[in-house]
Structure 1
Amino acid sequence: MTKYNKLRIEWDCRRGMLELDKVIMPFYQQHFDGLSECQKQSFIRLLACTDLQLFSWFFNRTPAIDTELQAMVDYIHQTLQLSN
């Protein structure tokens, strides 16, 4: 089982856009520990994306080119029941 630097992940969850902060941080705080190892890796990869990419995927519903990242975006949408 991979160990994760929780402080680093929490820091990376802080974004430059309030809209993203209201999605990413709550998901991390409430659901990260329950994710599979594969999902955790996808979430961490998601955090490496730019705010503009994330905003487009979460709010404009533009699909991510990477299928694993898109699956994580979809999972976050379902989990938090985001509407758009």
Structure 2
Amino acid sequence: MSKYNKLRIEWDCRRGMLELDNVIMPFYQQHFESLTEQQKQAFIRLLACSDLELFSWLFKGSEPQDLELRTMITHIQNTLK
């Protein structure tokens, strides 16, 4: 049995902004299983952040202070390229 509640994560991937929905859910579906345990934990913590924070980090060039979240944002952005 998986350590992660995939239905819960999938629900948390649904955001209030279309731009985020077009990035977060596809990233989860395509890349979550291949992440390391540390990256999975960072992604789950990232989902607890507000839509405004996520939008700012992913699209506006802002960076979270937390190094693990910053690294996960960079990883997500690199998959968009």
Give yes or no for TM over 0.5.
yes
Q: For residue 17 of structure 2, what is the aligned residue in structure 1?
A: 17
Task: Note if 1:36 corresponds to 2:36.
Answer: yes
Q: For residue 47 of structure 1, what is the aligned residue in structure 2?
A: 47
Unpaired stretches in structure 2, ≥5 consecutive residues? none
Could you report, residue by residue, the CA deviation over 1:1-30 in whole angstroms, capped at 9, with x for unpaired residues? x70000000000000000000000000000
Q: For residue 72 of structure 1, what is the aligned residue in structure 2?
A: 72
Could you report, residue by residue, the CA deviation over 1:18-77 in whole angstroms, capped at 9, with x for unpaired residues? 000000000000000000000000000000000000000001010111111000000001
Distance, in Å, in 2 between the alignment partners of 1:29 and 1:16 is: 18
Unpaired stretches in structure 1, ≥5 consecutive residues? none
Distance, in Å, in 1 between the alignment partners of 2:50 and 2:78 is: 22
- Identical columns (%): 69
SS at match of 2:49: coil
Distance, in Å, in 2 between the alignment partners of 1:30 and 1:22 is: 12
Task: Normalising by structure 1, report the TM-score.
Answer: 0.93
Task: Normalising by structure 2, report the TM-score.
Answer: 0.96
How many Å apart are 1:80 and its aligned residue?
A: 2.1
Superposition CA RMSD, Å:
0.9
Where do 4+ consecutive residues of structure 1 move more than 4 Å? Answer: none
Number of residues paired by the alignment? 80
